[in-house]
Amino acid sequence: MSAHKPLNQQVIVVTGASSGIGLATARMSAGRGARVVLAARNGEALDAVRAEIERGGGVAEPVVADVSDRAQVQAVADRAIQRFGRIDTWVNNAGLSIFGRLEEVDDADSRRLFDTNFWGVVQGSLVALPHLKQSGGVLINLGSVASDIAFPLQGMYCATKHAIKGFTDALRMELEEEGAPVSVTLIKPAAIDTPFAENARNYTDRQPKLPPPVYRTEEVAEAIVHAATHPQRDIYVGGGGRLMSAAQSIAPRTFDRIGRTMVGQQLRDEPARERDGTLYRAGHGGRTSGDHPGYVMRRSLYTRSVLHPVTAAAVVAGLGLAATGLMGGRRRR
């Protein structure tokens, strides 16, 4: 499929738009001229985001919605059509996690996580598709490196992300067989410095955190915005995540042994704070970054090379020429 319409001619719906990746995506999209529909549970936070975007000259429409409820997701689409007349890109971003051993996690919490992470993506996709088919649009689903691998303490989260990958891949095949003018992209971020860990339901007695390497939120937003105009099947955000995925596929038992070390990497040396998280309630919103205690990588050279392969090729060629020149100079000396 060829490139879609320019971003400044698009209407983009973003779920989970009140904080983290969704907020960064909404800001970036509006800053580049798109009209943005903001969906999340926290209406006060959405109003603040709309005011911020409009102060910068952008256009945004907030809609309070819980993506686990099909009727509320439909209301997001209805508002987008009512306000802007069409939907060009739909971003299924809303998601949460649970930190705890699988034997300890309550069934109701697990089901609630699936309602949000998995069914939120399913319902968003199915509600969006009739509109995307009309406009020749883009469906972007937020998976994770956890769509390919699994790790302890967030086992149910990994299960939801595996399910999202299966659904997204099957849906893409059906749309291609049908000849529908819709591109489907699965974004697979590594650990990202958002309020993700502090918003999670926590069964441990220590404050959770994400294992390194951790990347900046805007790297994911850049990948989402790129996919809105340049169809791409999968985009990994963070070379570390891509490496883990490759390692798991090549040597799964070895990766299992490495994965066991990730229990300690996901817990801080401090007592747990708000252990309920935002599984059943709206979060505070308004922040793209979290409070990760370690180093946060500002950009992923791997992801930038995937998004801009011509630039990457030029960089590699330049490095090759420089290396050749250096070796030639050494031989002459």
Q: Which of 157, 215, 236, 302 is catalytic?
A: 157
Residue 181: asked if its preceding bond is cis (omega within 30°), the reply is no
Q: Which of 57, 67, 69 has the alpha carbon at shortest distance from 17?
A: 67
> Rounded to whole angstroms, what are the CA distances from 217 to 169, 221, 222, 235, 265?
25, 7, 9, 15, 20
Taking the CA atoms of the chain, what radius of gyration do you get in angstroms? Answer: 20
Q: Which of 90, 53, 50 has the alpha carbon at shortest distance from 73?
A: 90
Contact 41, 18 (CB under 8 A): yes
> Rounded to whole angstroms, what are the CA distances from 186 to 17, 45, 163?
18, 27, 12
157 tagged catalytic:
yes
Tell me the catalytic residues: 157
